[in-house]
Amino acid sequence: MTSKKARLIQGNRACAEGAMAAGVRFFAGYPITPSTEIAEIMSEELPKLGGKFIQMEDEIASMACIIGASLTGKKVLTASSGPGISLKQEAIGYACMTEIPCVIVNVQRLGPSTGGPTSSAQGDIMQARWGTHGDHPIIALCPSSVYECFTLTVTAVNFAEKYRTPVYVLMDEIIGHMREKVILPNIDEIKIVNRKRPTCPSNEYKPYQIDETLIPAMADFGTGYKWHVTGLFHDETGFPSGKPKVIEEQFKRLMTKFDKYSDEILSWEETEAEDAEILLVAYGSTARSALDAVNILRSEGIKVGLFRPITIWPFPEKRLKTLAEKANKIIVPEMNYGQLILEVERICKDKASVGGLFKFNSLPITPEEIMFKIREVL
């Protein structure tokens, strides 16, 4: 499937190929722009690999379907956009609560509602964090190139498996639809992670055991463990419990289970950030414009840098805080009305002044617009 050859492919294709390279063998989806190419590619390729593709009757069903498939031990993925991601929220919450590995690709389009199906936007940043009801943990990764659509989908699958959690790949229309030259890694260069499965006898199995790893083993349905999965609060054995102590213990484990692994989960990229007086915080396709702005302004001697969170949730807070101590000003360009800036402000408000550059008219933010904003605050 992948050979070390330069190719000109779309972000959506790179994402689908990344999923298959990571071992995804089950996809359920529903047609929606601008993510449909992923479903189309999966429908063609998965059965050749012995995998399964199904187009469900709606977005809710496709999310539910991949959770069911994951319980049989398969690596699973769904892809959608805008209204589709809104519909999936109920079942995403179920996967958070029951800790079922799955990957949700969101090729962001302009919202709310039907919004702009073929227009790019980054308006689902907070939805990815808090879209479903109740407190819950989530991981969201944000590619800014076609190459990263491949590699971060692999990472997303690995994280889902390792940490027993839903993981978002937060793309945007520009990244999903553009074609870019890439040389993808060979299959043998790709690190694959499989979920931890129980080795104990079935009568000793605790699917929500609290131990030092915080990530319990998960048995495949059909292997004799006969365990119970429920979206109700449950104890270590998986059965419903309304005891406040049990709820609190399990809730705490759920909400803190990524903290222990933040070195692996958190990733970001820095460009000229170390000595930057003005620091851009940009992600996804907008980071590409920010990078142009940094390169041009640096050649003029202006100390501008870029901090690009690759893991958006949880946010790489510590590192940004350190950089904010040196920078006077932080600018957050994003294709929305101001979302990630809320997190950046929370982290940096005592260290640097934080301003935004927001665009929400369906057009991308250009390097010129970012440079104009920087010159304005100089």
Partner 1 sequence: MKRWKFRLSGSGGQGLITAGIILGEAAVIEGKEVVQSQSYGPEARGGASKAEVIIDDKKINYPKVVIPEVLLAMSQEAADKYGTEIEDNGLIIIDSSMVNNFKNDKAKIVNIPITKLAKEEIGKTFVANIIAISALVNLTKVVSFDSLKQAVLNRIPKGTEDINLKALEIGWKWAQSN
Partner 2 sequence: MRPELQKLFRMDKLPHIWCPGCGHGIITRAIAEAINESDLDLDKTVIVSGIGCSSRAPGYMHFDTLHTLHGRALAFATGVKLANPELNVFVLTGDGDATAIGGNHFIHAARRNIDLNIILFNNNIYGMTGGQYSPLTPTGKIASTSPYGNPENNFDIPALAIAAGASYVARGTAFHDKLLIDCIKEGIKNKGFSLIEAMSMCPTSYGRRNKMGNAADMLNDLKTTAVNINVAKKLPPEKLEGKFLIGKLHHKPYPEFTQEYDKLIAKLQKGAE
Using CB under 8 A, list all residues that contact partner 2.
Answer: 26, 28, 47-48, 50, 52, 54, 56-58, 60-62, 64-74, 76, 90-91, 94, 221-232, 239-240
Task: Give which of partner 2, partner 1, none residue 285 binds (C-beta under 5 to 8 Å, depending on kind).
Answer: partner 1
* Paired tokens of 102: 């799955």
Task: Give which of partner 1, partner 2, none residue 289 binds (C-beta under 5 to 8 Å, depending on kind).
Answer: partner 1
Site membership for partner 1, residue 252 (CB under 8 A): no
Q: Are 150 and 18 in contact (CB under 8 A)?
A: yes
In the complex, least distance from residue 48 CB atom to partner 1, rounded to whole angstroms: 20
Q: Under 8 Å CB-to-CB from 191, ≥6 apart: which residues?
A: 154, 158
Among 18, 23, 29, 34, binds partner 1 (CB under 8 A): 34
Using CA atoms, how far apart are residues 53 and 25, in angstroms rounded to an integer?
8
Task: Give which of partner 1, partner 2, none residue 221 binds (C-beta under 5 to 8 Å, depending on kind).
Answer: partner 2
Kind plus residue range of the DSSP H or E element containing 312: strand 311-313
Using CA atoms, how far apart are residues 109 and 83, in angstroms rounded to an integer?
9
| Binding letters toward partner 1, positions 97-136, x by CB under 8 A | --------------------xx------------------
Among 4, 8, 203, 263, binds partner 1 (CB under 8 A): 8
Q: CA dist 41 to 87, 88, 167, 245, 323, Å?
A: 23, 21, 21, 47, 41
* Paired tokens of 289: 């414009």
* Paired tokens of 212: 């030092």
Nearer to partner 1, 165 or 285 (CB): 285
Among 45, 180, 249, 270, binds partner 1 (CB under 8 A): 180
Nearer to partner 2, 21 or 374 (CB): 21
Site membership for partner 1, residue 285 (CB under 8 A): yes
Phi, psi of 293 (to 5 degrees): -60, -45
Nearer to partner 1, 257 or 308 (CB): 308
Nearer to partner 1, 118 or 237 (CB): 118
Using CA atoms, how far apart are residues 50 and 30, in angstroms rounded to an integer?
21
Q: Under 8 Å CB-to-CB from 292, ≥6 apart: which residues?
A: 367, 370
What is the chain's length?
Answer: 378
- Where do contacts with partner 1 occur on this chain (CB under 8 A)? 6-8, 33-34, 117-118, 174, 177-181, 285, 288-289, 291-292, 295, 364, 366-368
